[in-house]
Amino acid sequence: MTLERDAAAQVAKVLSEALPYIRRFVGKTLVIKYGGNAMESEELKEGFARDIVLMKAVGINPVVVHGGGPQIGDLLKRLSIESHFIDGMRVTDTATMDVVEMVLGGQVNKSIVNLINQHGGSAIGLTGKDAGLIRAKKLKVTRQTPEMTQPEIIDIGHVGEVSGINTDLLNMLVHGDFIPVIAPIGVGPDGESYNINADLVAGKVAEALKAEKLMLLTNIAGLMDKQGEVLTGLSTEQVDGLIADGTIYGGMLPKIRCALEAVQGGVTSAHIIDGRVPNAVLLEIFTDSGVGTLICNRKRQ
């Protein structure tokens, strides 16, 4: 009996702590980039779907953008299509792009939609080609070494960057009580498909919607200092300093730059959170402690 009371008391405490946050974020849009370990563990997938449904149930408007790099790599291997990477980006020829569309727009997208709907949500799966949701252009990649007189232009195929977002479509879905689930495939001026980094798509969607939060799920605890401690509550100026002194480097740089651009473009705050933690999204939104790194543009606050 005592254990049951203790458990009930803990539930009441959690709900009490969450209430001010629920009130604060009712009616607000949150863009969540979903990927990494959170997308591979069955337990974490179930927890993520429940989190998203709960957010919608209490009046918050989640928009999900997902990745799927490992799933693409697996199918390419099964089809004996070799993968090549330049500066961390997958070289995407026509055959590879067909696989990307099949995996991201089909297999991965529909599995996420189905999982959310199984937990009581009303999710709608989209790619950037639906109603011109993600307008894109070819990403130009250059490389220069000291001995070169001018940069070398590298063609990495159907890899793109975002040139525009159809906010009318997203707003119609969000305000119609649907949960958009977006695969990061863009469409070019002539209808060509482009593979786009999911973090970048999430950032641009958050900017276009003037979202309250951009949340990037990762496979690490957050942004760490040189002593291995998680940093949070950072201003854009502090983040610039951490890039300059080498604290932020390598694979974390693109994610951090995405978060910076989002808050500088009108998003209230960006969060880099540990997707390996059960219920990471709810913990970051509805508790005092959170589970990752928060970045905000304090000049706007």
More confident residue, 161 or 240: 161
Structure-token pair, residue 93: 């020829």
Residue pair 200/89 in contact (Cβ under 8 Å)? The answer is no
Does 241 belong to an annotated binding site? no
State pTM to two decimals: 0.86
Structure-token pair, residue 279: 């219920």
Does 69 belong to an annotated binding site? yes
Residue pair 134/176 in contact (Cβ under 8 Å)? The answer is no
What is the DSSP secondary structure assignment for residue 297, as one 8-state letter?
-
- CA dist 62 and 18 (Å) reads 17
Does 276 belong to an annotated binding site? no
Q: CA nearest 273: which of 289, 262, 250?
A: 289
pLDDT-derived band at 288 (thresholds 50, 70, 90) equals: low
Q: DSSP labels for 215-241?
A: EEEESSSS-B-TTSPBP-SEEHHHHHH
| Cβ-Cβ contacts under 8 Å for 52 (sequence gap 6 or more) | 32, 62, 64, 116, 121, 123, 179, 281
CA distances (Å), origin 262, targets 39, 81, 241, 295: 23, 35, 18, 10
More confident residue, 65 or 150: 65
Does 164 belong to an annotated binding site? no
| Placement of tokens 């942004």 in the chain | 223
Q: DSSP labels for 155-196?
A: --BSBEEEEEE-HHHHHHHHHTT-EEEEE-EEE-TTS-EEE-
Q: CA nearest 157: which of 244, 245, 92?
A: 92
pLDDT of residue 109: 95
Q: Strand 134-138 to strand 85-86: parallel, antiparallel, or no bridges (unpaired)?
A: unpaired
Region at 89 (left for phi over 0; alpha for psi -120 to 50; beta for the rest) = beta
Each residue's pLDDT tens digit, 69-126: 888 888 988 998 888 887 777 888 898 999 999 999 999 999 999 999 999 999 999 9
Mean predicted confidence (pLDDT) in 189-213: 93
Mean predicted confidence (pLDDT) in 242-264: 76
Angle at 45 between CA 281 and CA 291, to 5 degrees: 25
Each residue's pLDDT tens digit, 1-45: 455 776 666 666 667 777 888 888 899 999 999 987 667 778 889
pLDDT of residue 1: 47
